[in-house]
A and B are shown apart, each in its own frame.
Chain A
Amino acid sequence: MLVLALGSCTVERQVSLTFGSDGEGLDGFMCKDPAGQFLLDRAKDGDGGVRTGALVVDFVRLGGVPGCRTGQLVKWCSTHECKPLRQARGCVPVTLPTVTPMMPREALRASVLSAMRQVQNTGVLDDAPDEFVIVRLVGSLESCEALTAKPEAVELPNFDKAQLLGCAYSCPVLLDRVDQDVYLGFETLTVQCEQGVRICSDGQLQWQP
C-alpha cells in the first residue's frame, strides 16, 4: 500500500520565466529593422494609439542538449529538428510600449520591463515537457487566437515576420529538474537585430533572410 501510495503521488513544482531583475534579457525587444525603426513601433496605430499584441511562449524540442550560445543553437538546429511542441504553446495578450525619439536605451528597457510586468505571475503552461527544451518568448502584434493552434491544425501557426515585436529565449533546460528561475535573453551586439528576432521566432530556428 505504501509503495502504491508512493507511486501514485506526484511532485508539483513551479518555474518562473524572467528577463533578469533589471530586464537584462530584453535586448530582443529593443531591436530595430534595417530601416532604423524599432520593432516596437509596429504597434503604433494611425491614431497615435498602441495596438495590443501577444506574448507567445513556446517550448522548443531540440532532440538533444546543444550549447547555449546563439551560434551553437543555430548550428545545432541546422542539423536537428528544433520544433516548438504543439500542445505546449502559451499566449498572453500584452500591450508593449512604443519608443519615443531620443529615448535612452536604459529607459526603453525599463519601459519594456514595466509593460512586461503587466503579465506578472501569469501561467503559460500547467505541465512542462519532461525533456530538454529551450523556452522561447516571442512578441507579436498578432492575436493569441491567431497564434494558437487550431484543433484541426497539425502545425502551430507561424509568426508573421512583419508583425514581430521582439524575442527572447533560454538555454536548453529540463524544467522538471531546474532549481532556479529560467532566464530569457537575446544575444546581439547591435540594435540592428531584426534578423536575430526572425531567427528566434522561426518555427525551425533557422537562418532567415
Chain B
Amino acid sequence: MLPALLLFVLGADGPAVVVVSATAPALATRAAQTPELPVVLVTGALPDAPQPAATPSTEVLVEARRAWVGADFARCLSLLEDDGRVTRALEQEQRHTAARALAWRVACKLGARQGDGARRDAEWLAALQLPLPEDVGVMTPEVEALLTSARRAVDAQPRTGLVVTSPVTNAVVAIDGRPGACTVPCRMALAPGTHVVHLSADGYSPRAQTVTVAAPELSVELPLSPADPSLAAAQWHRRRAAGEAFDAGRAMQLLSVSLRAARLLVVEPSDDAGGVRGALAVDGVVQARGERDDVQALVRDLLVRGKVFEPTVPLWKRWPFWVAIGAAAVASGVTAAVLIANRPVVTRVELNP
C-alpha cells in the first residue's frame, strides 16, 4: 500500500475537501499547518487498494467432465444448463472458461442424444468467436466434428450490425469478453446470435447486457450509473498503477469520489528538487494546478485560485478606495478653487491727486 496521508480542508462554509499526498506524508502534514487560512485543515488516509477480482470457479467444469466420463450426462447437463454461467464468464473476460462450459455442454448433450440442443450450443460458441478449448481433445470425434461444422456454418452467414450507444462519452465497449473493442458510439458487425455487450468507464459502474443480434441491425443504449466509492478507489488505483499523473482530471475525480470529498487538494513533490506540485478539485473537477517551492504557499495559492476562499484584497486594489480618492481630489479641487476665488482682498486707498 502506498504511504499515504490525506489532508482534509474544512471550509468556513461548504463541504470538506480532501487533499492527498500519496508519496510524501510529511508534505501533507506541513500543508495542514498552513497558517492564516479561513478554512480548517484535517489530515486523513488514502483508500485501500482493492483485492484482485476472484476468477470464476472451474470446479463445476471439472465436475461436469467427471460426469461426462462416467456417462452421467443428466448430471453433466444439470451442472452446465445455466446460460448465466457462460455470460458471467464473458462479462469477466474469461473467454476460455466460457468456451469450456459451452464445449462440455455440447458434449453432454450429444451423449444424451440431444442433437438439436448440442447444435445450438455449438453455434453459440461459434457465434461468440470463442476458441475451441483443449478439452475438445478428450471428447469424442463426434463432438469435435459438430463444433467444427457449426463454426463453418456460422462463418458462412452474413454479419449483422450492432450499434452501442451510451450517455457516457468515451465509455469502452467489450463484446463477448473481448476488451476494448471500441468506444461509444460503436458500430460493429457480428454473427447472428446471442452476444454479451459490456460497457465500462472510469467513474461509473460497469454494465453488461446480453443481446440477440439478428438482421438487419440492432441498436442498444446502455446508461451507466456513477461508481460507488469503493469502485472509484479501485479505478483510481488502477490508473495510478498505469502511471497516470496524480493531478490528472480523471484521477482527481476518482479520488474525490472514493474519499467522498467535494473538495480535494493533492500535494506531491515535484520533479524539481525542493519543489511541490499540487492540484485542487471541487466536486470532482480540477479547479487549479500549481507548483511552488513552499507547500504552504502552494496550498494558499490553490485554495484562492480554486475560489475556496477569496484573498484579502489590499485597500489600494479596491475600487471604492479609488472612488474615495477621486472624490476627495475633486472636493479638494473645488474647495481650493472656492477659496482662491474668495480669498480676502485688502485694498488700501490713498490720495493721489
Contact = CB atoms under 8 A, between A and B. Distances in A.
B348 A10 contact: no
Interface string B325-353: 00000001001100110011111111111
Interface string A1-42: 011001101111111111100010000000000000000000
B348 A121 contact: no
Interface string B276-309: 0000000000000000000000000000000000
B343 A57 contact: no
Contact of A135 (B332, B336, B343, B349): B349
Contacts of A130: 345
A123 to B, nearest CB: 5
Contact-residue bracket for chain B? 10 to 19
A10 B340 CA distance: 9
Interface in A86-145: 90, 92, 113, 116-117, 119-128, 130, 135, 137
Given A3-B335, A3-B339, A6-B343, A15 B349 contact: yes
B346 A11 contact: yes
Is the contact region of chain B dominated by helix, strand, or loop, or is it mixed? mixed
A123 B344 contact: no
Interface in A66-91: 90
A122 to B, nearest CB: 5
A15 to B, nearest CB: 5
A10 B346 contact: yes
Given A11-B343, A11-B344, A126-B346, A3 B332 contact: yes
Interface residues of A, number: 41
Contacts of B332: 3
A155 interface: no
Contacts of A14: 347-350
Contacts of B345: 10-11, 13, 130, 176-177
A175 B343 contact: no
A77 to B, nearest CB: 22
21 contacts: A2-B336, A6-B336, A10-B343, A10-B344, A11-B345, A12-B346, A12-B348, A13-B345, A13-B346, A16-B352, A55-B351, A90-B349, A119-B351, A121-B352, A123-B348, A125-B348, A126-B346, A127-B346, A175-B347, A176-B345, A177-B345
Interface of B: 332, 335-336, 339-340, 343-353
